[in-house]
Structure 1
Amino acid sequence: MTASSRALSFNSAAAQYEASRPSYPSALFDAVEEFLGRPLTGTRVADVGAGTGIATRLLSRRGAEVIGVEPGGEMAAQFREALPDVPVVRGDGNALPLRDASHDLLTYAQSWQWTDTTRSVPEALRVLRPDGALAVWWNTTAFDVPWISAQHERIARHCGVTARSSVRPSDEEAVELAGLSGLRVVRRQIHWQRTVSLDTHLGNIGSRSAFLVLEQASKDAFFADERGRLQDLFPDGSVEEAYVVDLLIAAR
């Protein structure tokens, strides 16, 4: 399974993605504004790999003049339904359908890993204005919460992937971004929480690419077992999720 195939696997679960994926805390956008040295109001932003528009809507609420860039047809359709007044164009971070020096900020919420950095970094530099910046972030695993760390291990084993032992991006990824771009890179980590239903929590896990490419029987077996575990932990059916937003901001 190639990276591009996994990236496009989200199309098969676009509605599930929109309904269950976590949003982002206001402190994330405070950090971006602090780095920029100005409010997002009036800032020309392209949200790259916008998905269903989860980050895009928060940028728009901050007053940014934002456009979504999304490769997947079903994901873009969910975007248009959720944000009918915000434009979205088809494309990805490796070949941005945007003019040279046209944007103040490029954002990549959960999407930087789907790009080829030898292509996406030059594309970002092409599209950014001379004083522009790019912001890359992920909602990552809160390893300091025991049940979340244990669940992370179970997911990795079931999906046949290597369990991470730290949040992303790694220090090496930050160094790579700075080296490829020649930009000044700042890293921030922001802890936050949300409380959701058990069904929403499981739907969020099931919307990840590692699960979307599995056979249905394999997914069913995992979620049946995981539901039982979580019902013991959260008998009222409300799951307290914890996240660490890991943020890289880069500018000339």
Structure 2
Amino acid sequence: MTTPVTRGEAPPPARPDRGARAHSFNAAAAQYAANRPSYPPALLDALEELAGRPLAGARVVDAGAGTGIATALLHARGADVLAVEPGAGMAAEFRRALPDVPVVRGDGNALPLAAHRADFLTYAQAWHWTDPARAVPEACRVLRPGGALALWWNTDALDVPWIAAAARRIEHHFEIDVAAEKRNGDARAADPAHTLAFTRRDIRWSRRVPLDVHLANLGSHSVFLTHGADHAAAFLAEERRHLLAVFPDGVVEETYDVNLLVARTPTG
């Protein structure tokens, strides 16, 4: 559908393709690392429960590791972690943050790993950049029998009124479907061929951050990074005004639902 343009207005920015969005993080890796939310301890508790084994001592491959936000948590649980990251900028930020954790370049569609290497293969905020038709067989190849493929996403809690209102503003400004992010955590979208049997667990959590951190977090998302700096800056300036009306002390309470999917590979 063509969006009409009023006489005298600049046309809206062209919608970036999926590849451009996937690679956009490399230029904003430091911003991403400094402002993106982490994950609650309950997420790793649920991961261990659904996988049927502890992370401590397990061989974990964290694919699409980015700047290492999830990798750091897995490492702190005592896992032997190898990170896989396709982007040069993100990998460089990862090495600065976690110099003692190995990271190799690659992606989930063709993992640069030997077969049956891992007890866990994890994707934090990253599976939706893969092609499941290629990434699911790769996961089965890399995992040991009985190993666990775990996918998770922090998603906005859209039942919280101020978050729902902000999502509507983002949808209007960027012409996107914010609620579609929730569908990343659907097993049908994650594995359309139904190769694996996923179990889902949803975990709600929140964090309180300064308004500047919240806005920088927003600005590190691919839709902001790929629609042009002026277009993103205009939204963030207006969003500051909206949020100060809700949080006059300048501290924002972000509420998230972590959507976790875990599937175990056959043991025989």
* TM-score normalized by the length of structure 1: 0.95
Match of 1:70 in 2: 85
Counterpart of 1:208 in structure 2 is 221
CA distance in 2, matches of 1:99, 1:166: 32
Please report the RMSD computed on the Cα atoms of aligned residues, expressed in angstroms: 1.4
Query: In the TM superposition, what is the alpha-carbon distance from 1:2 to its structure 2 partner?
Result: 2.5
Q: Is the 8 A contact 1:137 1:247 kept in 2?
A: yes
Aligned residues of 1:9 and 1:212 also touching (Cα < 8 A): yes
Report the Cα distance in structure 2 between the residues aligned to 1:179 and 1:164, rounded to whole angstroms: 20
After TM superposition, give the deviation of residue 185 of structure 1 in Å. Answer: 1.1
Task: Report the 3-state secondary structure (helix = DSSP H, G, I; strand = E; otherwise coil) of the residue aligned with 1:169.
Answer: helix
Other structure's SS at 1:39 match: coil
CA contact (8 A) 1:121 1:180 kept: no
Which amino acid in 2 is paired with 1:233? V
Give the CA deviation at 1:177: 4.4
Q: Are the aligned partners of 2:184 and 2:190 in contact in 1 as well (CA < 8 Å)? A: no
- Number of residue pairs matched? 250
1:48, 1:240 → 2: CA distance? 29
Structure 1 position 182, deviation (Å) = 2.7
CA deviation map 1:92-142 (0-9, x unaligned): 111101110100111010101000111111111110111111000000010
Which residue of the partner structure matches residue 240 of structure 1? 253
The one of 195, 199, 212 equivalent to 1:182 is 195
Query: For 1:226 and 1:175, how far apart are their aligned partners in 2?
Result: 34
Q: Secondary structure at the match of 2:182?
A: coil
Aligned-partner residue type, residue 198 of structure 2: V
Cα pair distance change 1:222/1:177, threshold 3 Å: closer
Q: In structure 2, what residue type is equivalent to 1:231? A: L
Between 79-88 and 36-45, the greater mean CA deviation after superposition: 36-45
- The answer for unaligned runs of 5 or more in structure 2 is 1-15
Identity %: 58
Q: Indicate the residue corresponding to 1:97 in structure 2.
A: 112
* 5+ residue gaps, structure 1: none
8 Å CA contact retained: 1:121, 1:181: no
Cα separation, 2, equivalents of 1:93 and 1:179: 16
Amino acid at match of 1:147: W
1:75-154 to 2 correspondences below 5 Å? 75-154=90-169
Deviation track 1:188-247 (CA, whole Å, cap 9, x = no partner) reads 000000000100000010000011001221111101100011111111111011000001
Letter of the 1:230 counterpart = L
Paired AA for residue 37 in structure 2: P
Q: 1:15 to 1:166 in 2, by over 3 A?
A: closer
Candidates 30, 45, 53, aligned match of 1:15 = 30
Residue identity in the other structure for 1:237: G
Distance 1:244 1:20 in 2: 18
Partner of 1:52, secondary structure, is coil
Match of 1:51 in 2: 66
For residue 25 of structure 1, what is the aligned residue in structure 2? 40
Larger radius of gyration: 2
What secondary structure, in the 3-state scheme, does the structure 2 residue paired with 1:138 have? strand
Q: Is the 8 A contact 2:149 2:263 kept in 1?
A: yes
Q: TM-score, normalised by structure 2?
A: 0.90
Q: In structure 1, what is the Cα distance between the partners aligned to 2:50 and 2:256?
A: 22
| Aligned residue in 2 for 1:2 | 17
User: 1:128-182 CA deviation, whole Å, 9 max, x = no partner?
Assistant: 1111110000000101100001111111221121231783335xx4135456353
> Is contact 2:128–2:190 with CA below 8 Å preserved after alignment?
no
